[in-house]
Amino acid sequence: VAVVTTGPIHFYFDLASPYAYLASHRVDAIAARHGRTIDWRVFLVGAAFQTTGAKPLVHQGPKGDYSRHDWDRQARRMGIRFGLRDDFPMALLAPSRIYYWIKAQDAGKAVSYAKSVMSAYFADQQDLASIDIAAGLVTPLGLSSEEAAAAAQDPAWKQHLKTETDAAVARGAFGSPFLFVGGEPFWGNDKLDDLELWLAKGGW
Amino acid sequence: VAVVTTGPIHFYFDLASPYAYLASHRVDAIAARHGRTIDWRVFLVGAAFQTTGAKPLVHQGPKGDYSRHDWDRQARRMGIRFGLRDDFPMALLAPSRIYYWIKAQDAGKAVSYAKSVMSAYFADQQDLASIDIAAGLVTPLGLSSEEAAAAAQDPAWKQHLKTETDAAVARGAFGSPFLFVGGEPFWGNDKLDDLELWLAKGGW
């Protein structure tokens, strides 16, 4: 029987992942119900796909059709607006780098930024691959969009995102979202209820 | 909003699928709670993998490691004995053909047979690819193991299994287990709670 360790739950997610978007609406409340917090960790799931040979879901024939159906179905049940841009899926490099630039200053603001990025992307189908659009979303947080745009193109923040992604993949995060409660892994939005049971029981 | 149609829920499953084994312990009760029944439909998920380019989970690097961990974790929570043979995964042709030979006679006995096959395979690690072992499991059902062994090698039952598999794949069953409530698809053991909610709400 595994032991639930203390410390934050690690929530690895790709900003362009529909299942991560759905999960992002639930993880904080699940953690809070059990006296825990979430450490939000952006990564590029495309890098993880290289370790498994996986392709994006929408490129997997009938599995892609099912996924589109299931995303709509889950969003409808949760009362969340959801849609995909015609160019989906696309790696969202700029906001992923900006995320870590903000997190180094204020982790809470970084979470707010991630939520606003995913909402703009999935609820409003904005082009979050655009540096200008990604940088513009920092303004309501009291940050400089010029500095954010610079961070998105700064080799240091490019490397930071790569390091975070490599660490996630090395830990076994082969999909998005991927969560760890201590060392215990939970893959996918559909596993959040199991994760909560794990917290409630202290493992089994 | 989709409408839940009447009629049995279609439960497509591969006898060699760990997630189907886990789901097989729950589906009848879920259906019964909502006045429904389950039509148990064996198919060969390997044929479905050819449509998506998927490989068996255990051959997918870190996803395979996670799957093994998750199967053990789910089985432990459910109080079900679970283990894998060293030659896992292997297509279980003989019992899949025998399943339909029995179903043509008595659908209830076929379900009992499927349960006994999966229990022998996953709880006791018996070699269910063996015609003799697969045929022997019909004896407690009052059927002839000699006739079952003959059915497993009969071109007509080989074709029947192929036809059922092709129909499942054509309908979109790209993994195991895969369920349909009317036309509404639910993939995976982790989706059973959603399926039950769908039954309870009559769709959404």
Listing DSSP states for A126-194 in one string gives --TTSHHHHHHTTGGGT--HHHHHHHHT-HHHHHHHHHHHHHHHHHT--SSSEEEETTEEEESGGGHHH
Tell me: pLDDT of A62 over 80. yes
Q: Which of A45, A76, A174 to mutate to test the interface with B (most CBs of B within 10 A)?
A: A174
Residue of A200, A182, A196 whose CA lies nearest to A2: A182
Query: In this complex, which of A52, A60, A61 lies closest to B62 when CB atoms are compared?
Result: A52
Q: How many angstroms separate the CA of residue B134 from the nearest CA in chain A?
A: 32
Q: What count of other Cβ atoms lies within 10 Å of the Cβ of residue B153?
A: 13
pLDDT at A5: 65
CA distance B28 to A189: 25
The residues, ordered by sequence, that sit 6+ positions from A164 with a Cβ below 8 Å of its Cβ are A41, A42, A43, A100
CA distance A130 to A171: 30
Q: Which residue has the higher pLDDT, A2 or A110?
A: A110
| Residue A69 phi, psi dihedral angles, 5° rounding | -65, -45
Q: Cα angle at A113 between A108 and A115, to 5 degrees?
A: 100
pLDDT at B140: 98
Average pLDDT over residues A135-155: 98
Q: What is the pLDDT of residues A17-37, one digit of tens each?
A: 999 999 999 999 999 999 999
Tell me: pLDDT of A4 over 60. no
pLDDT band, residue B138 (cuts 50/70/90):
very high
With contact defined as beta carbons under 8 Å apart, do B87 and B98 qualify?
Answer: no
pLDDT at B95: 98
Average pLDDT over residues B145-173: 97
CA distance B7 to B33: 14
With contact defined as beta carbons under 8 Å apart, do B110 and B40 qualify?
Answer: yes
Q: How many angstroms separate the CA of residue A177 from the nearest CA in chain B?
A: 13
pLDDT at A78: 97
The secondary structure of A114-140 as a DSSP string is HHHHHIIIIIS---TTSHHHHHHTTGG
Average pLDDT over residues B135-154: 98
Q: How many angstroms separate the CA of residue B70 from the nearest CA in chain A?
A: 8
Distance of CA A19 to the CA centre of its chain: 9
Tell me: pLDDT of B192 over 80. yes
Average confidence score pLDDT of chain B: 95
Residue of A168, A166, A17, A42 whose CA lies nearest to A94: A42
B49 at the A interface (CB within 8 A)? no
Tell me: pLDDT of A163 over 70. yes
Query: In this complex, which of A51, A185, A187 lies closest to B61 when CB atoms are compared?
Result: A51
Average confidence score pLDDT of chain A: 95
A77 at the B interface (CB within 8 A)? yes
Q: What is the pLDDT of residues B54-87, one digit of tens each?
A: 788 888 888 899 999 999 999 999 999 999 999 9
Query: In this complex, which of A54, A69, A197 lies closest to B185 when CB atoms are compared?
Result: A69
Q: What is the pLDDT of residues A34-59, one digit of tens each?
A: 999 999 999 999 988 887 777 888 88
Cβ contacts of A175 on chain B, cutoff 8 Å? 63
With contact defined as beta carbons under 8 Å apart, do A61 and B52 qualify?
Answer: yes
Q: Which residue has the higher pLDDT, B35 or A49?
A: B35
Return the residue matching tokens 């998920």.
B45
Interface contact flag, B175 A63, Cβ < 8 Å? yes
pLDDT band, residue B2 (cuts 50/70/90):
low
pLDDT at B56: 84
Average pLDDT over residues A170-199: 96
- In this structure, what token pair is assigned to residue B39? 């039509």
Sheet with A184-187: list strands edge to edge.
A38-42, A9-13, A178-181, A184-187
Tell me: pLDDT of A93 over 70. yes
Interface contact flag, A69 B174, Cβ < 8 Å? no
Q: Which of B174, B191, B193 to mutate to test the interface with A (most CBs of A within 10 A)?
A: B174
Q: How many angstroms separate the CA of residue A61 from the nearest CA in chain B?
A: 6
CA distance B196 to B163: 29
Tell me: pLDDT of A104 over 70. yes
Interface contact flag, A66 B174, Cβ < 8 Å? yes
A89 at the B interface (CB within 8 A)? no
pTM for the whole thing?
0.94
